[in-house]
Amino acid sequence: MTEAGEAGSPPDEDEFEVVLFGPGYGESIVLHIGSGCWVIVDSCINDEGNPRALEYLESIGVDPAQAVDLVVATHWHDDHICGMTRLVEVCSKANFCCANALLNKEFLTAVDALEGRHLSESGSGVREIHRVFTSLESKASCPTFATANRVIHARGKCEIRSLSPSDAVFRNFLQSIGNLFPSENRTKTRISSVTPNDTSVVLWIGIDDIAVLLGSDLEKRGWVEILQSGKWPTGKASVFKVPHHGSKSAYEPDVWNRMLESNPVAVLAPWRKGGRVLPSQCDVRRILAHTTNAYATASTGLSAPSQVRRHSMVDRTIRSTGIGLRQLVMSPGAIRLRRPLGSRGGWKIEIFGSACKL
């Protein structure tokens, strides 16, 4: 996991650990919640197509088949779910949790129809979530629904609570199911979100007086619903996985003011598609207005505008030499946070690969 590929030793039994992987082929989070118990949130893969969460656990001597208690799919976007089926299969003792929207009968019917008609591309999140459901069905495993203000996992002193999606979002989702089906004679295309990021699962992980807030890709409307409900555990989180790659569309200042400690550790995985990159320079400045402890798994989106233009001008020359600068800044990185349970001290922060401080 380091530049030399070394992840080091596993955390102590009484140590809380949070690892964010990305960007590469998406993002994923691994948590050690104490006593050798682990949780995996979302999935991304390495160059060989293997889930990076499994790669990490095995590299530090942890058997995911025995040690992983819970696997969570926050939503079905490609960059959060690639390799999820493999996770579910390997982590055989783990409970699986996702938004109730994804386990809705109408949604499953839609997925089956789409899969049968081969309308989605091979990398589509629709196809991956279909495989996950098939795997769960084969072993008669009953998933847990994530809804607003629900405890989805509890072990020892650790409680994991989902803060979204709300019932209102779920109703809107059901009304949008028809949008999954393209009209007759429409060109084959990748299946898009029903309602972009609205059904994302936000998680609050609390152990003793330590709390972590994982923002998934939930956008502003969803955060406003959470804040208006007032239904989240008491206290404030000291770690924040910034939602939707730091995008302005997911920014709600009261999340920082009401749900997070002063100057929290903020982590994110950049995103790029076509000519669009997140976070932008404006996004970075907005995050740094709230904390000096902000980290990204790669430097994409953090370059000065003049540097971006320079890269564009020499792109053809770079390609002819076989060197791809844009690929390098999007290469896999990781951010690892560790903190002893019951400790009043701060987080030990380590960055690996292409990860950097904002």
What pLDDT does residue 151 have? 96
Q: Please, is 228 exposed, middle or buried when counting C-beta atoms within 10 Å of its C-beta (0-12, 13-18, 19+)?
A: exposed
List pLDDT tens digits, range 41-85.
999 999 899 999 999 999 999 999 999 999 999 988 888 999 999
Distance CA 289, CA 266 (A): 12
What pLDDT does residue 104 have? 65
What pLDDT does residue 153 have? 96
What pLDDT does residue 44 have? 94
- Nearest to 236, CA basis, from 215, 210, 270, 214: 210
Distance CA 226, CA 200 (A): 12
What pLDDT does residue 327 have? 35
Under a CB-based contact definition with an 8 Å cutoff, are residues 226 and 175 in contact?
Answer: no
List pLDDT tens digits, range 237-248.
999 999 999 999
Q: What is the CA radius of gyration of the chain?
A: 20
Under a CB-based contact definition with an 8 Å cutoff, are residues 327 and 311 in contact?
Answer: no
pTM for the full predicted model: 0.84
What pLDDT does residue 109 have? 65
Tell me phi and psi for residue 159, to 5 degrees.
-130, 130
Q: What is the pLDDT along the chain (358 residues), one digit of tens a residue?
A: 544 457 889 999 999 999 999 987 789 999 999 999 999 999 999 989 999 999 999 999 999 999 999 999 998 888 899 999 999 999 999 999 998 766 666 666 665 565 555 444 434 676 787 788 888 888 777 889 899 999 999 999 999 999 999 888 777 776 666 665 555 655 554 544 455 577 899 999 999 899 999 999 999 999 999 999 988 898 999 999 999 999 999 999 999 999 999 999 999 999 987 778 899 999 999 999 999 999 999 986 554 433 333 344 444 443 444 443 333 334 689 999 999 998 778 999 999 999 999 9
Distance CA 114, CA 133 (A): 14
